[in-house]
Amino acid sequence: MQFMLILTETSRDHARRNDPAQAGEYWGGWSAFIAAMAQAGIVVNGDGLQGPHTATTLRVRDGKRVVEDGPFADTKEQLAGYFIVEAPDLDTALDWAAKAPSALTAAVEVRPVLPPMPATGQ
Amino acid sequence: MTGQTGLQNARRAAELAARASYGRLLSVLAARDRDIAAAEDALSEALLAALRTWPETGVPLNPEGWLVTAARNRRKNEARAQAVRRAAEPALILQFDTTAAEGPIGDDRLQLMLVCAHPAIDRAARAPLILQTVLGLDAATIARAFLVEPATMSQRLVRAKARIRDAGLRFAIPAPDEMPERLGAVLDAIYAAFGQGWDNLDTPDAPEALTGEALWLARLVADLMPQEPEPKGLLALMLYCNARRQARRDADGRFVPLDRQDTRLWDRSRIIEAEGLLTTAARAGRFGRYQCEAAIQSVHVQRPLTGQLNLAALRTLYDLLVSQSDSIGARISRAVVLAELGEVDQARNELDALPMDRVRNHAPWWVAKSRIATLSRQANAATDALSVAISLTGDSAVRRFLIEQREALEAG
């Protein structure tokens, strides 16, 4: 079955991306994690995301588009990236989630992906 | 051979199979796709089918195998219907293939217990879920054992089963380093099953149906985890209690309280085994709730040897127990020990400090209340509390005992 690893990150960890003194270690940690998953052949799809300051949120209200900048979840942990992985069970997916660098400081949410919708017209 | 006898034999065989192997059959059925609720439905339909079929065909040689095959066929048909509806892959049908099902039924009960104790399951649902899946207790009985409302318990169980089905938990024995975390819920469930068998469910024609099952499970866990002291503690605790089985009712079926039991009726071999387990467990140097409760039983067992109950030792152990597991039962027992030691006011305060919504319908609380009132010479309060306890007691022998106690109080 497929699981989505929803990776969150603290703003402090996020800042390490562009800190010359820490960027190497930061990206090294993620590269190692991603390489290990690729090696195991479990990754279906996945990406890191640009920081929350680049986010744009859209709502349609009364037929009008309302566009605002930024994510609206005012939390300490922000969405940093995601992976869709193929794993036999939750426990295996959790084992991988535990290896994500951000699991130490923020959190990884693990959710089964809904199976494909039934064929239409039946 | 139809007719009344055939019908009765068939019903009896189906009931026996259901009672004795419910958890084993369910674990076999649910392990394939993790859908406990669907496996329960299929198993109960198979039991109904057995009641219909067996009176005509006779009881099969391997009733359990028959039930598992019937339940699997039911799920296979269901899956086939679904597969046709959804035009899904044939793998769904293969999953319920029954061609290999004729051999002996395996035992996945430990696996099923450990899945129910998975950290991804709501903590409050873990032990109840084990009771329902492995021992087949209904939600109302489980709710009583855990002192919560039946509706709350049903909801909790339904949610937990949906999670096991949808979240993709692994049906397997976890790695050794994950074991201790899951052990707590497993032991709690086994002890709750033992308590239910002891208080309510074991009947004269099947005196150890549920308590025997609980002992078996505790032995299994203790054997599988020799490094862990708590399974030994639990097994010891249950053996101490079971050793007194013959003594807890008199010849007329009347309830005999611990301090008036004929100790010659206690089963020495079980007591010796329990003492040995407790000593071995202590060597690990990790004292826990079940070792503590077993140690309390050990103090009671010493009484016939020393001629008196060591209340001071009991108090120390109950203090420890309350710090280990802050359960309602531990606090009630501790209050009674305090009262027996002469600290009546403190005992009453501790009893009254317990959450009323949880103890209001809990007979032991009212019995303790009555005992403390008696010790402080408040005869009316003692009688009133005992009356409430009587109204809450389902066991007719215990009821009779409490009624006699009330009569003695009223006589002064």
Residues within 8 A of A (CB atoms), B 175-214 only: none
**Range with lowest mean pLDDT among B14-18, B55-59, B149-153, B271-275:** B14-18
Does any CB of chain A come closer than 8 Å to the CB of residue B377? no
Residue B246 in this model has a pLDDT that exceeds 80 = yes
The winner for highest mean pLDDT among B39-43, B82-86, B163-167, B384-388 is B384-388
Nearest Cα residue in chain B from A119: B86
Q: Give SS3 for A4.
A: strand
pTM of the complete model beyond 0.80:
no
Give me the pLDDT at residue B95, please: 52
Residues within 8 A of A (CB atoms), B 71-90 only: 85-88
Let me know: does B210 contact B201? Beta carbons within 8 Å.
yes
Looking at the predicted complex, does its ipTM rise above 0.85? no
Query: Which of B86, B166, B174 is the closest to A112 by Cβ?
Result: B166
Shortest CA gap A71–chain B (Å): 28
Across the interface, whether the CB atoms of B86 and A1 are under 8 A apart is answered no
Q: Which residues of A19-54 are buried (b: 16+ CB within 10 A; e: fewer)?
A: eeeeeeebeebbeebbeebeeeebbeebeeeebbee
Across the interface, whether the CB atoms of B86 and A118 are under 8 A apart is answered yes
Across the interface, whether the CB atoms of A118 and B120 are under 8 A apart is answered no
Residue ranges of the domains in chain B? 1-86, 233-325, 347-411
Question: Mutating which of B164, B166, B171 best tests the A interface, going by the most A Cβ atoms within 10 A?
Answer: B166
Across the interface, whether the CB atoms of B174 and A89 are under 8 A apart is answered no
Question: Mutating which of A85, A90, A95 best tests the B interface, going by the most B Cβ atoms within 10 A?
Answer: A90
Q: Which domains does chain A have, with CATH numbers?
A: 2-112 (3.30.70.1060)
The winner for highest mean pLDDT among B222-231, B275-284, B394-403 is B275-284
| Cα distances (Å, whole numbers) of residue B404 to B44, B56, B60, B304, B397 | 43, 50, 49, 25, 11
